[in-house]
Amino acid sequence: MEAVLMEASSVEQPKQGVIISELVTKNGTKSEISAFNMVPSNALVDIKFENVTFTATEGSLLRTKTKKRILHEVNGRFPSGQLIAIMGPSGAGKSTLLNVLSGYSIKGVGGKVLINGNPRKLKAFRRLSCYITQDDRLQPLLTVGENMQIAADLKLPSSTGQKQKTAIIDEILSTLGLSHTKDTKTMGLSGGQKKRLSIALELVNNPLVMFLDEPTTGLDSSSCKQCLELLKVLARQGRTIVCTIHQPSATLFQMFDQVYVLAGGKCLYQGGTENMIPFFEDVQFPCPKFHNPADYVIELACGEYGTDKIDKMVETSQNGDSLKYFQDSEKILKTGFTDSAIFEDDSGNLQATSKLNQLKVLLRRCYIKAKRDQTLTYMRIIVNVLTSLMLGILYYNAGTDGSKVLNNYNLLFSILMHHTFSTMMLTILTFPTEMSILIKEHFNRWYSLKMYYASVTLIDIPISVLCCSLFTSIIYYMTAQPFEINRFTMFFVSSLLVVFVAQSFGLMIGAYFNVVDGTFLGPTLTVPMMMFAGFGVSIKDLPVYLRWGSYISYLRFALEGIVGAIYGLDREVLKCPENEIICYYKYPAKLLADVAVKTDQFSNDVIALVLFWFVFRTLSFVVLKYKLHSVR
């Protein structure tokens, strides 16, 4: 069931429309695959690596860090125009080698990676390559067409006209069989369609090199075949395409041009799929009849037939340095390359468009997402309205009743707790998913981190203001707080700043930790802020050695702000029910004295909250930047 594609040179390439390549099988049947006209430039990419090592650092802040060698001085060569598979059992180092060659991993890497015989300059190489992850990191709320349009606006130069972008998008979708899904949200696509869309998004800027981590994972046999047929056609157009694959069927295995087999971080075999059987005979481990060579080499790599066989194969392949078993080793050795200068320019920006255009496009994407997001937008609005109604009923008219001052004080703190936990936890629970998409898109040069962070910050401000306005208006009216514009403004400003601060705090946690750890740490770190805010224990009653804690609690300044807004500004004596004998707190000044709230500190409270907001936002950006670098 061996299948080979006709050489790209034998295919007539019309100026318009799609190119049709024929897949010819041994039994003479043919199937057609369309490939778009975006043929790469004359510059071919030959990847060679020498004595490549990778050492991983394991451990954490609470555990001793240890180092583990994953790759052991492996060598190899991946020529252009080839569909190349990196194979091996689990833990062999397949994804690690792919990450090193793509430039995704930069820490703990040793050895040399050469592009067309010259040392790889990472920035220049990244401009002409792309990395497609094993999991489909796509925006679920955007349609296929919207995802492609965003990719085109970010990955193509600003000089590219909209008609040309539309033509490129339509051609790619047609080639990958996604035209009929153009108006379908990504969340509604099948596994195979998501995989093809992941490829389509990176094809927009016509990369010369494509790295794919397990592109067939989670796909049925038909979808796997379609995916590899597509990659084969793209390779025949002159691209260098490298995939990791675990254990392909015999049919899928024969679709690859070259295979690179790893075991324990060493190379067992490098060469053509057709030459693997002769290789087994040369090392005196012949493949049994009617046995899939891909299965057999994995069995050998796992040590099922003894570790001595692994050592023998590593020795014969010279740990990847031998080209003896390539399909056409003489041709590969003599291959010449043109336009090699484009791989040497390591200056300039990684992104294709200006930062202003990136911000504009990202804001448009954020707006579409916000408009369709049931959790971050609609549920958030509904929860704020329902919670305000519930608290309004529970504390109905408490704001004017002198006998319910303590109840009203509890309400004010409850409001702060609602703003803190609802916004903080929402960010902690949702941002890790967005983080995975950010890592992929940022590495593939869609946009700069600064513009992404600016878009995320700006787009949420209107939603936060709307939610806080609805909540504050409802609860302020129902609980009969003093209807004075200056008091309401102070109350609203304090509440809104708490929303901004808590959201930034949640973003800082969600950017670094996973959902489980973040869900634990968020509330845990908020409890001390509650303790030092002056609720339960007055600030004046705090021990001297703990009083410093009140200055690092943003809730302290927020509580001081809203309590001062309600009971400060020389508020008049409150009315008490006639049957109420003791109405101690009908004098607002007494409450302010007992809770240690100064009425002339509102401007300082606002400044403190703004500073907290700025610090947490800045730290969130630093954490994001660190996270993007730490995963590499």
Main-chain dihedrals φ then ψ at residue 213, nearest 5 degrees: -95, 110
Identify the domain boundary among 353, 370, 405: 353
Q: Is 108 left (phi over 0), alpha (psi -120 to 50) or beta?
A: left
pLDDT of 30 over the 70 cut? no
- pLDDT of 373-384, one tens digit each? 888 889 999 999
Q: Return the pLDDT at 6.
A: 35
In DSSP terms, which residues pair with 22 in a beta bridge?
32
Q: Would 364 be classed as within a structural domain?
A: no
In DSSP terms, which residues pair with 272 in a beta bridge?
258
Main-chain dihedrals φ then ψ at residue 251, nearest 5 degrees: -65, -45
Q: Do 486 and 570 fall into the same domain?
A: yes
How many domains does one find in the chain?
3
Q: Do 243 and 188 fall into the same domain?
A: no
Q: Would 9 be classed as within a structural domain?
A: no
Lowest-pLDDT range of 109-118, 527-536, 578-587: 578-587
More confidently predicted of 246 and 358: 358
Domain limits for position 144 = 136-206
> Taking a C-beta distance cutoff of 8 angstroms, is the pair 271, 259 a contact?
yes
Q: Do 143 and 228 fall into the same domain?
A: no
Q: Do 188 and 228 fall into the same domain?
A: no
Token duo for residue 385: 């309205």
Q: Do 584 and 441 fall into the same domain?
A: yes
Q: Do 409 and 483 fall into the same domain?
A: yes
**Mean pLDDT confidence for 499-517:** 92
Identify the domain boundary among 174, 206, 238: 206
pLDDT of 203 over the 80 cut? yes
Q: Would 440 be classed as within a structural domain?
A: yes
In DSSP terms, which residues pair with 69 in a beta bridge?
55
Q: Pick the closest to residue 177 from 13, 36, 3 (CA basis).
A: 36
Buried b (16+ CB within 10 A) or exposed e, 79-110: bbbbbbbbbbbeebbbbbbbbbbbbbbeebbe
Q: Pick the closest to residue 506 from 356, 380, 391 (CA basis).
A: 380
Q: Do 96 and 235 fall into the same domain?
A: yes
Q: Return the pLDDT at 570.
A: 82
**Mean pLDDT confidence for 179-192:** 91
Helix H or strand E encompassing 129: strand 129-132
Q: Do 472 and 450 fall into the same domain?
A: yes
Q: Would 598 be classed as within a structural domain?
A: yes
Q: How far apart are CA 7 and CA 19, in angstroms?
A: 13
- pLDDT of 138-154, one tens digit each? 999 999 999 999 999 99
**Mean pLDDT confidence for 581-609:** 85
Q: Return the pLDDT at 400.
A: 86
Angle formed at CA 600 by CA 595 and CA 603, multiple of 5 degrees: 110
* Long-range CB pairs of 378-386, under 8 A, 24+ apart, other chains included: 380/422, 380/426, 380/463, 380/467, 381/466, 381/467, 381/470, 383/422, 384/422, 384/467, 384/468, 384/470, 384/471, 385/470, 385/471, 385/474
Q: Would 366 be classed as within a structural domain?
A: no
Lowest-pLDDT range of 60-74, 269-283, 350-364: 60-74
Q: Would 23 be classed as within a structural domain?
A: no
Q: Do 331 and 198 fall into the same domain?
A: no
Q: Pick the closest to residue 177 from 73, 33, 17 (CA basis).
A: 33
**Mean pLDDT confidence for 506-516:** 91
Identify the domain boundary among 173, 206, 239: 206
> Taking a C-beta distance cutoff of 8 angstroms, is the pair 119, 112 a contact?
yes
- pLDDT of 32-57, one tens digit each? 444 456 666 667 889 999 999 999 88
Q: Do 543 and 468 fall into the same domain?
A: yes
Q: Would 408 be classed as within a structural domain?
A: yes
**Mean pLDDT confidence for 439-449:** 92
Q: Would 411 be classed as within a structural domain?
A: yes
User: Structure pTM?
Assistant: 0.84
First to last CA, the chain: 40
- pLDDT of 64-100, one tens digit each? 678 889 999 999 999 988 999 999 998 899 999 999 9
Q: Do 606 and 471 fall into the same domain?
A: yes
Angle formed at CA 216 by CA 3 and CA 433, multiple of 5 degrees: 160
Token duo for residue 395: 């504390």
**Mean pLDDT confidence for 594-608:** 87
pLDDT of 11 over the 60 cut? no
Helix H or strand E encompassing 21: strand 19-25
Residues 6+ apart with CB under 8 A from 142: 150, 185, 186, 365, 368, 369
State the pLDDT confidence band at 582, using cuts at 50, 70 and 90: confident
Q: Do 116 and 148 fall into the same domain?
A: no
State the pLDDT confidence band at 358, using cuts at 50, 70 and 90: very high
How confident is the prediction for the chain on average, in pLDDT?
85
